[in-house]
Amino acid sequence: MRPSAEERSHEEPHNSPQPPSTSAKKYLPTGFFSGYPTRLTAHRGERRPGSDQGDVQNVARARQVRAEITRQAILDGAAVAFDLGGFEGTSLSDVVRNAGVTKGALYFHFPSKEALARTLMDEQLLIAERVPATDDPGLQTVIDLSHQMAHGLRTDVRIRAGIRLVIEFGSFTHPDPTPYDAWIDTCRTCLTPAQQRGDIHPSLDIQDLSTLLVGAFTGIQVTSHVRTRRQDLHTRVTDLWNFLLPTIVPPQRIALFHPTGTPGTIPITSAH
Amino acid sequence: MRPSAEERSHEEPHNSPQPPSTSAKKYLPTGFFSGYPTRLTAHRGERRPGSDQGDVQNVARARQVRAEITRQAILDGAAVAFDLGGFEGTSLSDVVRNAGVTKGALYFHFPSKEALARTLMDEQLLIAERVPATDDPGLQTVIDLSHQMAHGLRTDVRIRAGIRLVIEFGSFTHPDPTPYDAWIDTCRTCLTPAQQRGDIHPSLDIQDLSTLLVGAFTGIQVTSHVRTRRQDLHTRVTDLWNFLLPTIVPPQRIALFHPTGTPGTIPITSAH
């Protein structure tokens, strides 16, 4: 039996809480949301006036809310530091200074720089939440995911830090295939029904295609970052789809797909 | 006027020597070989017995050969260290220990860790030398280059260190588009005549295609490294070409190209 949230906050302060169940994401692979941050709304309860138990519960809730605010501040501070300096170039002192918390608070939530890095590396997988068409996954879902990730990289320091850490820390310093495998699983989970309904040539190997997409996207965003500070990232991602779609999709279906992402789903300001 | 090699060895010990001119590589972009290491055979001279001047010259040559041996040992030691620890995780003490040289010798050749890193980052561009069909560049030249780079990553610690540094140091710590731009230029230089002779659809933008290829390869080798320690790298590179060639090449010409590389040009042991 799993301990309650309160018990866990004392016994396992360093583990990420489990994700809330979201039926719209049921097609996503197990473990996909392992890094899901606690939401402040997760333990909303009713106040019972005059009840000692209610007061105790409220104090406990207030403490939990404060702890979560601290935890998020630490992750924000860490994201700024990792985005700037990478894993090796960041110290816990940088994080404490950026976050405006004590070293004790930092250690209560994260036992090490590695634990912080792993939480941010997991968080980038949350981008999948921002894609609307998740109840009926298909090829366009993957196209939209790639543009949402591009948008996240351009606008969200936590996404940027997560990807830098995945590439540096998770590929070289402490090689860990988990983030790559999770994205490949997500692609396969979307592309398998796409192939079943005839949007993808029946002869194509979906696992190979998913592996190619994740590998290609990884490098395309690196080169866009270094060459243009990601100014051309949406254009480069659109190129990837324009070059791949004629091989992937039967000719009579190709007009159904938007290589630039489903219109209206990506904020227009970022669609360079 | 440029100083002679001897003058440079005293006045500019930290600059990389210029590459020897190789007519077969004349189509490659200017600056492509800026990191070309001095070859030990570059200053072979004739001994004139009984001549004082000959003795002086021989002493100078012997000194130069020793200096070059030291320089190569330093680069080998640095490559092992950078491949293992990346830029931030490597100290000059690691390099000195790996190379078996004194700190003074290290500083004579390279003023800083950054200078060492930049030399190794430039060196990976030399892989283009290993592709035979360089006098008549075309689409197959780029395919062969991608497999030669894959082979270099699997077998050569200096290539591995160079690529890790390009991705970490040259993309995040000190963003520098030079290596990416050099590879994009190389692709464009090969693909432009390919398009002129009808091997590539006339409507395709060669600059966009070259940018896509370099970006995609960059990420494909990262994911192959972290997921399989590059065991599947040739397979993944072949996938890239299998997915792209139907979009790039007119149907009646597609059989002319080998997505696995020109048969016989990649050592068979590495063609996983």
CATH code of the domain containing A237: 1.10.357.10
pLDDT tens sequence across A81-136 = 999 999 989 999 999 999 999 999 999 999 999 999 999 999 887 777 666 656 78
Has residue A7 been placed in a domain? no
Q: pLDDT value at position B136?
A: 80
**For residue A169, how far is the Cα from the chain centroid?**
16
From first CA to last CA, the distance across chain A in angstroms is: 50
Contact between chains at A215 and B215 (C-beta distance less than 8 A):
no
Q: Are residues A143 and A254 in the same domain?
A: yes
pLDDT score of B269 more than 70: no
Q: pLDDT value at position B138?
A: 95
What is the pLDDT confidence band of residue A20, given thresholds at 50, 70 and 90? very low
Which residues of chain A have a CB within 8 Å of the CB of B81? none
pLDDT score of B164 more than 70: yes
Q: pLDDT value at position A94?
A: 95
Q: Are residues A81 and A158 in the same domain?
A: no
Has residue A73 been placed in a domain? yes
CA atoms within 13 A on the CB side of B34: 12
Candidates A164, A219, A225; nearest CB to B216: A219
Q: Are residues B96 and B134 in the same domain?
A: no
pLDDT tens sequence across B103-147 = 999 999 999 999 999 999 998 877 776 666 567 899 999 999 999
Q: Are residues B136 and B255 in the same domain?
A: yes
pLDDT score of B13 more than 80: no
The angle subtended at Cα B64 by Cα B61 and Cα B65, nearest 5°, is 90
Q: Are residues A135 and A231 in the same domain?
A: yes
Can you give the residue range of the structural domain that contains A227?
Answer: 124-270
CATH number at residue B19: 1.10.10.60
Number of domains chain A is built from: 2
Mean pLDDT (whole number) for B70-96: 94
SS3 for A60-80, per residue?
Answer: HHHHHHHHHHHHHHHHHHHHH
Q: pLDDT value at position A265?
A: 79
Q: pLDDT value at position A133?
A: 57
Total CB pairs under 8 A between chain A and B: 137
pLDDT score of B158 more than 90: yes
User: Residue A26: what residue type?
Assistant: K
**For residue A21, how far is the Cα from the chain centroid?**
16
Q: pLDDT value at position A148?
A: 92
A109 vs B6, which has greater pLDDT? A109
Percent of chain B surpassing pLDDT 90: 63
Percent of chain A surpassing pLDDT 70: 76
What is the pLDDT confidence band of residue A50, given thresholds at 50, 70 and 90? low
Contact between chains at B214 and A223 (C-beta distance less than 8 A):
yes
Q: pLDDT value at position B34?
A: 33
Chain A residue at shortest CA distance from B204: A243
pLDDT score of A52 more than 50: yes
Q: pLDDT value at position A260?
A: 96
Mean pLDDT (whole number) for A252-263: 95
Q: Are residues B110 and B161 in the same domain?
A: no
B272 in Cβ contact with B231 (< 8 Å):
yes
Q: Are residues A217 and A242 in the same domain?
A: yes
Mean pLDDT (whole number) for B83-98: 94
Which residues of chain B have a CB within 8 Å of the CB of A88? 86-89
Domain boundary among A77, A103, A119: A119
Q: pLDDT value at position A134?
A: 60
Contact between chains at B247 and A247 (C-beta distance less than 8 A):
yes
pLDDT score of A11 more than 80: no
What is the pLDDT confidence band of residue A141, given thresholds at 50, 70 and 90? very high
B110 vs B5, which has greater pLDDT? B110
Q: pLDDT value at position B198?
A: 97
Q: Are residues A142 and A73 in the same domain?
A: no
pLDDT score of A73 more than 90: yes
pLDDT score of B85 more than 80: yes
d(CA B54, CA B195): 54
Domain boundary among A119, A152, A170: A119
Domain boundary among A84, A119, A154: A119
pLDDT score of A29 more than 80: no
Candidates B87, B173, B218; nearest CB to A223: B218
> B256 CA to chain A: closest CA distance, Å?
18
Q: Are residues B63 and B175 in the same domain?
A: no
**CA distance to A41, A58, A60, B85, B206, per residue, from A53 (Å):** 20, 9, 10, 54, 71
A149, A227, A232, best to mutate vs chain B, most B CBs in 10 Å: A227
d(CA A75, CA B41): 55
For A5, the enclosing helix (H) or strand (E) is: helix A5-11
Chain B residue at shortest CA distance from A85: B173
- Tell me: ipTM over 0.85: no
Q: Are residues B23 and B61 in the same domain?
A: yes
Return contacts of A261-264, CB within 8 angstroms, 24+ apart: A261/A143, A261/A144, A261/A146, A261/A147, A261/A148, A261/A234, A262/A132, A262/A133, A262/A140, A262/A143, A262/A144
**For residue A264, how far is the Cα from the chain centroid?**
21
